[in-house]
Homo-oligomer: A and B are copies of this chain.
Amino acid sequence: MSAIKTLRLLMPQWQGGGNNPAYSLGARLLEWLAPKGSHPTIEVPIDPYHSTSIKKENGIIEQSALLKQLEDATTIIHQHHPQKIVVFGGDCLVEQAPISYLNQIYDGNLGVLWMDAHPDVTTPKDFQHEHAMVLGNLLGEGDPAFAEKVPVKLNPKKVMLGGLQETMAYETEVIQRLGLRHVGPKELSKSSNSVIEWIKEEQISKLFIHIDLDVLNASLFRSLLFANPYQDPKIFDGVAQGAMTIPELTRVIQDILPLTEIVGLGITEHMPWDAIHLQEMLEQIPILKE
C-alpha cells in the first residue's frame, strides 16, 4: 500500500467509554465537520453498539473487543506507515494506536499534550472503563493487557496534562510518581505560557495533541457526556468536569504551532445530543427515505 504522509482515521469506538451509543455519531460528525485533508479518511472497523451483551473481562468492560480494535487500528497504521496521524474518536482509547506508533517512529521522543479534564491514568483496580487508562497504558502503567501492546513507552517528561481538573487519589499518585507536568484551566485561561515553557525545556520537536472534548465547559459546549439534556446532572456529582472555552483551547494550539511540529491530533468524546435526538426523529419520517 502506498505511503500516506498524514493518515486520517475515523474510529467510532464506544466500548472504551462503557455502555454508551452516542460515540458513533459523535465520531462521524467530528470527521464531517473537520476540514478536508488530501487523503480520504480510513475507518477502523468497530463492532456496532449493543447494550444487551456487554461483558466485563479482567475488570474492564469489553476488554477483548477493545484489544481487537486496537490491533486493527495498529494494522491499518502500519500498512500506511504515515509520518503523521489524525484520529477522530470515539472514546479516548482511540489515541493508543496512533500515539504508540508515532512514539516508536520518533524514537521515544514524541511529546504528548493531553488536553483533558482527566489524566486517564486509572487502572482496572479502580475503574472499569478502559478510556480512563489510555495515557497510563502509553506510559507503561494503566491496564497491563493494553500497556504490553506499547513497544516504546512515552517518556513522562514529554507528557503534559492541560486543562486538568481535580484528580482522584489514585490518579494523583501516578501523576506525582511519574512527575507528569500539568496545568489547570484557570492558568490556561490567562495564557499558554506553561505549555510553551514545557515544549522549550523538553525540546519537543514532534508533538501529538490529544483533545478530550470534556476539557471544555459543558455549559458552553453541550455535546458532552455531562450535558445530556435528558439526564439529571446530579448523577455526575463528584466527577471532575472541564472548564475551558473553545477560544481558549484554540489559542493554546495556535500558540504552540510555531514552536514544534504537530505530528498527531486526536479528538475524542464527542456526544452531540441534539444531532442524536434529531436523527432519531428523522429516521421515523418515511418521506425522508423516498
B-binding residues in A (CB < 8 A): 5-6, 29-30, 32-38, 84, 86, 213, 219-223, 229-230, 246, 249-250, 253-254, 257, 262-265, 267, 270, 272-275, 277-290
Contacts and interface: CB of A to CB of B under 8 A. Distances in A.
Nearest to A29: B275
Contact of A229 (B222, B274, B278, B285): B222
Contacts of A285: 253, 262, 265
A246 B283 contact: no
A249 to B, nearest CB: 7
Given A230-B220, A246-B278, A281-B246, A286 B272 contact: no
Contacts of A274: 221-223, 272, 274
Contacts of A5: 290
A49 to B, nearest CB: 17
Contacts of A86: 287-288, 290
A265 B289 CA distance: 12
Nearest to A276: B33
Chain A: interface secondary structure?
mixed
Contacts of A230: 220
Nearest to A250: B281
Contacts of A32: 32
Contacts of A254: 284
A246 B280 contact: yes
Which of A38, A278, A283, A289 is packed against the most chain B CB atoms within 10 Å? A278
Contacts of A223: 274-275, 278
Contacts of A265: 285, 287-288
